[in-house]
Structure 1
Amino acid sequence: MSIALDALQHCPLFAGFPEAALDEAARHARIRHFQPGEVIYEKGEPQTFLCVIARGMVRINSVNQEGRESVLIVFDQGAWVGDAVFAPGADRVYGATAHTQATLVELPGAYFRDLMSRYPQCYPVVLECISRRLWSAMTVIQEDALRGTTVRIGRRLLFLCDMQRGGAEPGGPVTVRLTREHIANMMGMTRQGVHRTLKQFQREGLVELGYGQVTICSEDALRRYLDCCPD
């Protein structure tokens, strides 16, 4: 099986397409390889393609005039980036950089939109994927505005679970391959503050901490804990 076809089959965004559409899309795809830290596309560029992560991880970021990077989210294998293809003519709102060595499957935006129009049975799944991503982002914004540190970090971990799960179903442990520095940068917090909260979660049996990664043992257990948290 080709890299492109395998990646499309395991990407939730393409779950509503029949096999014939996936075979066709794989033939139109371009495979690109990136080294860690290599720019995939920059903020402000015209959108031209949709990317599915076949291997590795990609971070969505914004860089200010001084060159300081703000990490917004990191996507794992099986996820897609380049939502701007759903708004033809719009420029990229954020940039994308290879977080690890990564292989991407690229589809031209115009071709992907045409594929959807020819296989309209895909629309419920595509809309659900986009809505779920929007709902997750809005939840993070709400928690950041209204809740304390413990809940903010816990909810962000749940958001990262959703983004880094790829095509796997919820239920089992999810490993978020980010350092404490990355999480702190993402949330505008200090590394020490993030570390204290993660150690608290570890004592409660909610997470396991490893080098450059955090494993959420049970999303449901963490969610129940946060629901009872006073802050």
Structure 2
Amino acid sequence: MPDIKTALRSCPLLKALPEPAFDEAGLMAKVRRFSAGQTIYDRGSMQSTLCIIAIGTVRVTSVNPAGREATLIIFDEGSWFGDTVFSPGMPRVYGVTAHEDATVIELPGERFRQLLAKYPESYPVVLDMVSRRLWSAISILEDDALRGVSARLGRRLLFLAEIQGIRISDTDAVVLRLTREQIANMMGMTRQGVHRRIKEFESLGLLRLDYGKVTITNPSELKAHIAALD
């Protein structure tokens, strides 16, 4: 059983909340557990909850009419999903599935919005995090239109770090719990093509490939290298 307030404090979206707010959030929180492959919610559902991952990973997916699932994002511990909590009455745009066994803390939409209104000092951080997600999503569209495969791959890995609240201007290593197959699925590439590009970055000391994970050894150096490829 995760400590609810510890898990909430680990979420970058909530880091500006004062201590009394975490006490209140803990009282409204609901803990849910999911097995790997279990649906957390479907596309089009009208749930209005903010979800914070306490344990495990989840994947955001889209399914085409033929039933083929594409992984769009994989979120790790401390990340949040359910951005429609900020747009009550809007359906979920994508589905979410437990990528591995996961424990998720849910905050009900209306009560969460009331909490933010009660502690308005949290708004600058919340707006910054949401705007970073929007910027990252637009950047992917730009990449697909304008950049080569190596630059697209490197920027997608940085995007996955950025969307979880990690500042890619930092020099600290970032671990992404992803396999080559999962990256290939996200980008519409073959596993072999992803492997070749990762090895190129690895030879430059920018990435490290291990079993079930990819490490960005220095995000700022990877970002600078990709800029030079443009």
1:193 corresponds in structure 2 to 193
Instruction: Give the TM-score, by structure 2 length.
Output: 0.95
Structure-2 change in CA distance of 1:52 and 1:166 (3 Å)? farther
- Post-superposition CA distance 1:148-176 (Å, at most 9, x none): 10100010011112235669994311111
The answer to whether the 8 Å contact 2:169/2:220 transfers is no
1:150-229 counterparts in 2 under 5 A? 150-164=150-164, 170-229=170-229
SS at match of 1:228: helix
Pairwise CA distance, 1:73: 0.4
1:122-137 counterparts in 2 under 5 A? 122-137=122-137
Instruction: Give the TM-score, by structure 1 length.
Output: 0.94
SS at match of 2:67: coil
The answer to whether the 8 Å contact 1:41/1:96 transfers is yes
The answer to whether the 8 Å contact 1:61/1:71 transfers is yes
Root mean square deviation, CA, Å:
1.9
Tell me how far apart the structure 2 counterparts of residues 228 and 169 of structure 1 sit (CA, whole Å). 16
2:111 corresponds in structure 1 to 111
How high is the sequence identity, in percent, across the aligned residues?
52
Corresponding letter in the other structure for 1:28: M
Pairwise CA distance, 1:67: 2.2
Q: Which runs of 5+ in 1 are unaligned?
A: none
Pairwise CA distance, 1:143: 1.2
The answer to whether the 8 Å contact 2:84/2:90 transfers is yes
The answer to whether the 8 Å contact 2:42/2:96 transfers is yes
Tell me how far apart the structure 2 counterparts of residues 166 and 3 of structure 1 sit (CA, whole Å). 22
Tell me, yes or no, if structure 1 residue 15 matches structure 2 residue 15. yes
1:32 corresponds in structure 2 to 32
- Post-superposition CA distance 1:2-31 (Å, at most 9, x none): 621111111111112111011101111000
Q: Which runs of 5+ in 2 are unaligned?
A: none
Structure-2 change in CA distance of 1:168 and 1:193 (3 Å)? closer
Structure-2 change in CA distance of 1:169 and 1:27 (3 Å)? farther
The answer to whether the 8 Å contact 1:58/1:97 transfers is yes
2:95 corresponds in structure 1 to 95
Pairwise CA distance, 1:66: 2.6
Corresponding letter in the other structure for 1:228: A
State how many pairs are aligned: 230
Corresponding letter in the other structure for 2:156: R
1:63 corresponds in structure 2 to 63
SS at match of 1:67: coil
Q: Once structures 1 and 2 are overlaid, which stretch shifts more, 18-27 or 60-69?
A: 60-69
SS at match of 2:138: helix
